[in-house]
Structure 1
Amino acid sequence: MPSDTTTASVGDTARAGLDRLWSRGTAFLGCPIAIMGGAMSWVSEKHLVAAISNAGGFGVIACGAMTPDLLAEQIAGAQALTDKPFGVNLITMHPQLDDLIRVTLAAQVGHIVLAGGIPPGTAVRAVKDGGAKLIAFTPALSLARRLVRSGADAIVIEGSEAGGHIGPVSLTVLAQEILPHLKEVPVFVAGGLGRGEAILSYLEMGASGVQLGTMFAAAVESIAHANFKKAFIRASARDAMPSVELDPRLPVIPVRGLVNQGTRKFLEHQAETRDRLVAGELTKDAAQLVVERFWAGALRRAVIEGDVETGSVMAGQSVGMVTEEKPVAAIIQMLVDQAVGALSARAG
């Protein structure tokens, strides 16, 4: 039977092995644990972001539809709660994107994530000229290479298992398509991750780190309403489903969330709108706008007001692994322990 000293030695070696595997990610982010917080609108604000960074990870503020002034307040609030590095996620379609970049750079935030579309060249240049590191999302290897050529310092590949707006391909496939071939910059993986062993497997495939959102949404430090957190804790992976497109004439951007009354009403709303389109009561553009407006304010209703019946409860499929409200530090430590445990078991 191995002695306590031997067991400790194996554990130390395993932790050192984990640190080596994500060393490129930790060096890039400037933190000891290469776990980025996913940018979740209304959830990833100063309290949760600071908690993730204070626990050794890398918090990311979700700007979403914030005004420049509100973003400045959130950044200042996070900086008051942590002296550790964190990033800001900006949506490329935001009408004030240039102003948001200026606000972020003025606050000396070192990492900017441009999400929601291909970053405009002007935005890329502004980030780079401002001295910040640029992180971009990609659903394909060809686009990843294009983004790197244009100036992206790191890439995130997010599988369809993730919560919120999703693409059509799972992380399992994306990782196989991209990780062996993209070596120029650090690549972070996201979507459906909820255990350290899974994180370890992607690091061994070549990932530099991971991004997690759903696992942190119901954390103690999350400002989400108690009803929102309870919905996460009660849910299984099968409850987190992508929104359904009823008619291809009215395209729906897939959003993964917990099925509720709002989900069912959305189908009815699409049917009613389609009938009005067919009857000539609405043009195609007007009908599309009517469909898109259905969820306006629905995420805030769920997260802030606790309306988990008609609101939008965005969640990834890892929601089934959210079993209780835990501090962020405990969540990160659990993931690290699981990864180290898997490495230790091999050594044993």
Structure 2
Amino acid sequence: MAEFRKTSALMARGTEFLGSEYAILCGAMSWVSERNLVSAISNAGGFGVIACGAMTPELLDAEIAGTQALTGKPFGVNLITMHPQLFDLIAVCARHQVSHVVLAGGIPPKGSVEAIKASGARVICFAPTLALGKKLLRSGADALVIEGMEAGGHIGPVSTSVLAQEILPELAADHLVFVAGGIGRGEAIAGYLEMGAAGVQLGTRFACAAESIAHADFKKAFFRASARDAVASVQVDPRLPVIPVRALKNKGTEEFTAKQIEVAKLLDAGEVDMGEAQLRIEHFWAGALRRAVIEGDVESGSVMAGQSVGMVTREEPVADIIAALMAEAEAALSQRVAA
């Protein structure tokens, strides 16, 4: 801690809130953010987050128990707000006394924040706009993550740098705000901390860590890619509530376009409602992502990656990644003081 004195001082509010040594969260990446990577990140001083995604309560129960067997450090669980068994998943987190629950994918349904806090857990929500951030805080969120469109996976329309300029000056003095999206080096972390962020969240940087169970071919796709290879999906039908997804361009990108057309036809025929349509889209992504991450199908699977993918050039242990990020941030802050 002493060697990163300036960075740690700026992270103090975040580390106190998370209970970790460094205020560096790992973004919840379906199939990637499981017990091995999550525990490794927490053991290395960061804050790991299990990606529940489409898991059943039984699967989440086993994943949390598996993670707790590998680390005694704090970690969180990311829950998708549209999950049909959301409250059952919240109950699983409560049984295991999970300290932090991250709600992602939309406005939390009525009673969900209260249900999480009833167990003593803290609630972290994603805020794509300043107005929604204020609303979520009024509704009981303990902290926010503002994630820019440079991120991998589901994204919003606004860049990280703009969100940070809009939201941090308004909220960071009185609230905990973590910045995410496109962060690949410690110099960027230092900048957001100076702007008032309590910490940061990174996903792409950790996806190919040595402890990540991702298939070797999935990792190789990252190592070959540049920032411009990570593209956002296109919405085919404006009626479909499709949240854009950023991934490496491949045949899977085209297959998603075809899936949207298929679901739109079902809507036209009255065979599904809008909620079911969105769930089918989500299930498509879950399946396509599994094919890429677990099976190594990087041609038709979904290789979700943020634009920082060009900075991921080799497999490294999580501890080395976190140490490098902290050292880069500390060097940047030290140079500014010296100047």
Shorter-chain TM-score category? over 0.9
Matches within 5 A, 1:77-96: 77-96=66-85
Q: Distance in 2 between matches of 1:126 and 1:271?
A: 37
TM-score, normalised by the number of residues in structure 2: 0.92
Superimposed CA distance per residue, residues 82-108 of structure 1 (whole angstroms, 9 cap, x where no aligned partner): 111101111111111111111111111
Q: 1:32 to 1:320 in 2, by over 3 A?
A: same
Equivalence for 2:169 = 180
**2:224 aligned with 1:234:** yes
Deviation at 1:347, TM superposition (A): 3.7
Deviation at 1:17, TM superposition (A): 1.4
Equivalence for 2:87 = 98
Report the aligned-residue RMSD. Answer: 2.3
Q: Determine which of 327, 334, 337 is the counterpart of 2:327.
A: 337
Equivalence for 1:224 = 214
**2:10 aligned with 1:21:** yes
Q: Determine which of 187, 193, 202 is the counterpart of 1:197.
A: 187
Structure 2: tracts of 5 or more residues without a match? none
Deviation at 1:297, TM superposition (A): 1.0
Secondary structure at the counterpart of residue 215 of structure 1 = helix
Q: Distance in 2 between matches of 1:272 and 1:36?
A: 37
Q: 1:49 to 1:296 in 2, by over 3 A?
A: closer
Q: Distance in 1 between matches of 2:270 and 2:322?
A: 50
Identity %: 66
Q: Distance in 1 between matches of 2:250 and 2:291?
A: 13
Q: Distance in 1 between matches of 2:69 and 2:268?
A: 53
Q: 1:79 to 1:341 in 2, by over 3 A?
A: same
Deviation at 1:286, TM superposition (A): 7.7
Equivalence for 1:56 = 45
Secondary structure at the counterpart of residue 337 of structure 1 = helix
Equivalence for 2:29 = 40
Q: 1:128 to 1:222 in 2, by over 3 A?
A: same
Q: 1:240 to 1:101 in 2, by over 3 A?
A: same
Q: 1:296 to 1:343 in 2, by over 3 A?
A: closer
Equivalence for 1:123 = 112
> Match of 1:28, as an amino acid?
F
Which piece of structure 1 moves more, 28-37 or 182-191? 182-191
Deviation at 1:69, TM superposition (A): 1.4
Q: Determine which of 218, 231, 244 is the counterpart of 2:234.
A: 244
Secondary structure at the counterpart of residue 145 of structure 2 = strand
TM-score, normalised by the number of residues in structure 1: 0.90
Equivalence for 2:142 = 153
Q: Distance in 1 between matches of 2:327 and 2:175?
A: 27
Equivalence for 1:212 = 202
Deviation at 1:296, TM superposition (A): 5.6
> Match of 2:299, as an amino acid?
E
Secondary structure at the counterpart of residue 146 of structure 2 = strand
Secondary structure at the counterpart of residue 170 of structure 2 = coil
Q: Determine which of 320, 324, 329 is the counterpart of 2:314.
A: 324
Structure 1: tracts of 5 or more residues without a match? 1-10
Contact 2:230–2:247 (CA under 8 A) maintained in structure 1: yes
Secondary structure at the counterpart of residue 248 of structure 1 = coil
Which entry has the higher C-alpha Rg, 1 or 2? 1
Deviation at 1:268, TM superposition (A): 5.1
Matches within 5 A, 1:300-311: 300-311=290-301
Superimposed CA distance per residue, residues 217-245 of structure 1 (whole angstroms, 9 cap, x where no aligned partner): 01100001111111111110000000012
Superimposed CA distance per residue, residues 244-281 of structure 1 (whole angstroms, 9 cap, x where no aligned partner): 1234355532100000012134345556877x68xx98
Q: 1:77 to 1:272 in 2, by over 3 A?
A: closer
Secondary structure at the counterpart of residue 8 of structure 2 = helix
> Match of 1:179, as an amino acid?
L
Matches within 5 A, 1:69-80: 69-80=58-69
